[in-house]
Amino acid sequence: MKPKVVVAETIAQSGIDALAMSCDVDLAVGLDRAELLVRVSDAAGLIVRSATMVDAEMLAGAPELRVVGRAGIGVDNIDLEVATARGVLVVNAPHANTLSAAEHTMALLLAQARSVPQAHAKLVTGDWDRKSFQGVELHGKTLGVVGLGKIGTLVTQRCLAFGMRVIAYDPFVSQERGRRLGVEMVSFEDLVPEADFITIHLPKTKDTEDLFNKDTLARVKPGVRIVNTSRGGIIDEGALAEAIRSGRVGGAAIDVFAVEPTTDSPLFGLPQVVVTPHLGASTAEAQDKAGIDTAEAVAAALRDELVLSAVNIDIGREVSEDVQTFLPLAEQLGRAYVGVAGGMAGRVVLRAEGRIAGEELRPLKLALLKGALAGSSTEPVSYVNAPSIADQRGLIVDLESSEESDEYVSCLRIGSDDDSVSLAGTIGKKGALLVEILGHDVELPFSDHVLIVRNSDTPGVIGRVGTYLGDLRVNIANMVVGRSRVTGEAAMMGLNVDQPLTDDQVEGLRRLDGIEEARYLDLA
């Protein structure tokens, strides 16, 4: 049966259509809370916008719930702490409105610089007044971008085309990336007094709340113009209004407010201020993309994939294409390690080698934990709850990296802290490969059923293994022989088999002449 997904608020039909390809869609738009609680009681997924409160009560009443999708960016209406504790993934659509938000920023920047709405309002009353609305050019001015994420980058590119000089503050962006964008990266303290225009593109956190307060505004360049299309509460509206009245700030264009909806702000009525009611994402294209992106993220989560727009898991700022490609390998390595080691406890090391070593590795750690814990937990293991389950069991995964790799462009290695157990894998032309098992070089494809055999380097052993499996009617799909890196002896076999093996069958294999150890890995 398809998993049930409740859609509690209106999203684009294109999103509904995308969701319906793999899910049973239950449209519950307009229902009161009591009715909605009944509808989500057996749901695997839930999609909301900003009006539905996904709180502890709702999460507790939906024991099958695996993912909540927010068709937009902000997740203030979702209890992330409770969702995480219950293993419920929370996803949003962080990039659906990036272009629309960037274009709205430009609209406000230009409208404020040229007093467009004020001039319009006066002209339509019959007053032809050119003297009151002398503006300023953008060309040659310094723009200070606070937050150089996707939206900040899009705004930067457009302002560079206007001939502006761009400086930016973002503690997560390197000087090199800034240079590639044509931007000078500076500290926040240096940006504030130097910029002629400031545009804000930050999330609201405890660190950014009231970032532009009375003290900050006292240090700005006289006459600066400030634009905020990110989140309300980053600017102290009262302090900004006072700075404008005093002449310290030349004007502002504001799309977001500390309390929304709002019809009363100290900024209203100031002739130097342009305001809009949180319209950054209000385009047909952005709404369409939000519906599609959220639907695809929910569907991917229900397929047990790592969703890059996940809000309540730690995957770093960006996940590169290389890392995405290696996620299934990391998960398979985790499962294989448990099978080879006979369990997983204490401390292990995940080491990235080669090109992938320079990437953000936290998603690979999550995938490794998910794979390693999947077969030994009484509850479903997801990317959300894998870290907490690992903590409960005292399992620690250390991350290491080296840009050197002997044979492969990129390689992942997992080993015990005492080096008694080690595995390595890579992505080849035909998919994921085990390339080292317990110090033996192999190139064995991952499959649902893998048999690892350590044997003496004597004639006839391989034949005995083949005969034994043949008598059991177990087909060998693929087989490789590995040599020890230390002794150079051919002392290991890796086999992909088409059928699962029982414990008794594996024990019978161990009793064959020349067999030192045999382990069956169920990687299905």
The structure's pTM equals: 0.66
Q: What is the pLDDT of residue 384?
A: 83
365/387 Cα distance (integer angstroms): 9
Per the annotation, the verdict on 104 as an active-site residue is: no
The string of pLDDT tens digits covering residues 220-233 is 999 999 999 999 99
Q: What is the pLDDT of residue 422?
A: 87
**Which domains, ranges and CATH numbers included, belong to the chain?**
4-94+285-302 (3.40.50.720), 98-275 (3.40.50.720), 321-522 (3.30.1330.90)
Cβ atoms < 10 Å from Cβ of 142? 17
Per the annotation, the verdict on 201 as an active-site residue is: no
Which whole-number Å values give the CA distances from 189 to 85, 145, 511, in the listed order? 38, 13, 72
Which two tokens mark 331?
A: 């998960």
Which two tokens mark 76?
A: 């203030």
Q: What is the DSSP annotation of 162-194? A: TT-EEEEE-TTS-HHHHHHHT-EE--HHHHHHH
Interacting residues of 512 by C-beta distance below 8 A, sequence separation 6+: 461, 464, 465, 468
Which whole-number Å values give the CA distances from 77 to 34, 176, 224, in the listed order? 17, 37, 34
| C-beta separation of 276 from 260 below 8 A | no
| C-beta separation of 234 from 254 below 8 A | no
Per the annotation, the verdict on 317 as an active-site residue is: no
| C-beta separation of 78 from 261 below 8 A | no
Sign for the pseudo-dihedral over CA of 30, 32, 36, 38:
negative
- Among 376, 402, 400, residue whose Cα is nearest residue 390: 376
For the chain, list residues with pLDDT below 50: none
Q: What is the pLDDT of residue 132?
A: 92
Which two tokens mark 391?
A: 């903590």
Catalytic residue among 95, 158, 278, 464: 278
Q: What is the pLDDT of residue 317?
A: 58
Which residues are 481's β-sheet partners? 493
Which whole-number Å values give the CA distances from 304 to 66, 67, 203, 210, 381, in the listed order? 9, 10, 28, 39, 10
Catalytic residue among 39, 225, 231, 454: 231
Q: What is the pLDDT of residue 435?
A: 87
Q: What is the pLDDT of residue 220?
A: 98
